[in-house]
């Protein structure tokens, strides 16, 4: 689809986004940026496209496009200009999304960004989906299979008569997690799958490992790829705080906290590199991420600058 703005407006939008990402974007710059947007509908259309691009960057940290936006300004400007020239459907493939949008949109159960929702399945199993998650149900006479397409889920397996002799399995691109009880969470991390067990146990089998299943017990946590499983470590209530609608920071780096919080809001959430290693602790309810950001200056020497609903930047106060 051809963008609704001119090449000149796209170039100017790329220049403004490059400036916005710098650490010295002043209040005067912000006024000029807003004046530029208001001066011509073409400018506003180009900037709306920028915000759409930024929103799609959510969940793609570590991907090629996100890395491109972290390069020096000269290279960053070129990367932004390329992204501006792409339609939203084409962007998904170029930016290396973990799953195609149509897979999430057509999933049996799904949530949007910032949404958490629970379903009770026919066998009594309770499935809680975290933000921006999607699963497909593949129940048959021999097994109960849940395919995690994207995101993070909590499973509390049901034990209805219809479930007898039908193992419950969560499948990802990296392998399978079979319930042996059980209450557990599974998160798709792109290159690995993460599992935390809250009750009983699970058996993990990698997609290409060629080894026997590995058992993970209550209170343990691990991650696995298609070929390997890391050694189990003690789990923490912090890991599953999302199931109670909260995010926990325990001497957490500010950059890591923003990455986690960014899962629950659209757009780009970032801080000056000099602030990345600041550490703090707290328990924050996820029902209002703007309120969480507003509280950070009470604990840290930061200032929150909101350029748009899709672009928030933390800088030194």
Alpha helices per DSSP H over the chain: 7-20, 27-39, 41-56, 64-68, 73-84, 88-94, 101-105, 254-261, 289-295
187-213 burial code (b ≥16 CB/10 A, e <16): bbebebbbbbbbeebbbbbbbebeeeb
| DSSP track, 231-246 | PPEE--GGGGGGGGTE
- The DSSP 8-state label assigned to residue 230 in this structure reads P
C-beta of residue 141 within 8 angstroms of C-beta of residue 165: no
Residues of the chain with CATH 2.60.120.1440: 101-236
pLDDT at 266: 86
3-state secondary structure of 152: strand
User: Which residue, among 202, 118, 123, has the nearest Cα to 153 in the 3D structure?
Assistant: 118
Provide the angle, in degrees to the nearest 10, between the axes of the packed helices 73-84 and 41-56.
Answer: 100
Residues of the chain with CATH 3.55.50.30: 245-316
pLDDT at 85: 53
Structure tokens at 71: 């390069």
Q: In which residue are the tokens 């290409």 written? A: 208
> According to CATH, what is the number of the domain 101-236?
2.60.120.1440
Q: Give the domain 245-316 fold.
A: Phage tail protein beta-alpha-beta fold (3.55.50)
Contacts of 38 (CB under 8 A, 6+ apart): 44
What does each of the 317 residues of the chain score in pLDDT, given as a tens digit? Answer: 445 678 788 778 877 877 776 656 777 887 888 899 889 988 888 887 777 666 555 444 333 344 444 444 444 455 555 555 544 333 334 334 445 555 676 789 999 999 999 999 988 999 999 999 999 999 888 899 999 999 999 999 987 776 678 899 999 999 999 999 899 999 999 899 999 999 999 999 999 877 788 999 999 999 999 999 999 999 988 889 999 999 999 999 999 999 999 999 988 898 999 999 999 999 999 999 999 999 999 999 999 998 877 789 999 98
What is the pTM for the complete model shown?
A: 0.73
User: Which residue, among 149, 146, 148, 151, has the nearest Cα to 131 in the 3D structure?
Assistant: 151
User: Which residue, among 246, 221, 223, has the nearest Cα to 116 in the 3D structure?
Assistant: 246
pLDDT at 101: 59
Helix-strand-coil split of the chain, %, nearest 5: 35, 35, 35
pLDDT at 86: 45
């Amino acid at each position: 689809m051809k963008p609704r703005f001119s090449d000149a407006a796209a170039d100017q939008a790329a220049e403004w986004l490059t400036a916005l990402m710098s650490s010295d974007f002043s209040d005067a710059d912000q006024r000029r940026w807003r004046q530029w947007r208001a001066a011509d509908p073409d400018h506003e259309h180009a900037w709306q496209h920028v915000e759409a691009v930024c929103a799609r960057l959510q969940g793609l940290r570590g991907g090629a496009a996100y890395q491109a936006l972290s390069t020096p300004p000269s290279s960053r400007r070129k990367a932004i200009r390329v992204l501006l020239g792409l339609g939203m459907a084409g962007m998904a493939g170029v930016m290396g999304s973990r799953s195609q949008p149509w897979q999430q949109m057509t999933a049996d159960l799904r949530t949007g960004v910032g949404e958490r929702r629970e379903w009770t399945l026919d066998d009594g199993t309770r499935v809680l989906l975290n933000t921006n998650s999607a699963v497909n149900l593949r129940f048959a006479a021999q097994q109960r299979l849940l395919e995690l397409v994207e995101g993070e889920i909590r499973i509390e397996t049901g034990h209805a008569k219809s479930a007898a002799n039908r193992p419950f399995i969560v499948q990802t691109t990296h392998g399978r997690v079979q319930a042996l009880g059980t209450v557990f969470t599974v998160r798709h991390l792109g290159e690995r799958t993460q599992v935390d067990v809250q009750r009983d146990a699970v058996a993990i089998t990698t997609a290409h490992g060629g080894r026997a299943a590995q058992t993970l017990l209550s209170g343990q946590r691990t991650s696995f790829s298609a070929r390997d499983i890391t050694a189990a470590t003690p789990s923490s209530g912090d890991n599953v705080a999302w199931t109670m609608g909260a995010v926990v920071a325990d001497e957490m780096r500010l950059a890591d906290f923003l990455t986690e919080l960014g899962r629950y809001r659209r757009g780009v959430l970032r801080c000056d590199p000099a602030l990345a290693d600041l550490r703090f602790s707290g328990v924050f309810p996820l029902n209002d991420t703007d309120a969480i950001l507003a509280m950070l200056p009470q604990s840290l020497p930061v200032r929150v600058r909101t350029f748009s609903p899709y672009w928030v930047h933390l800088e030194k106060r």
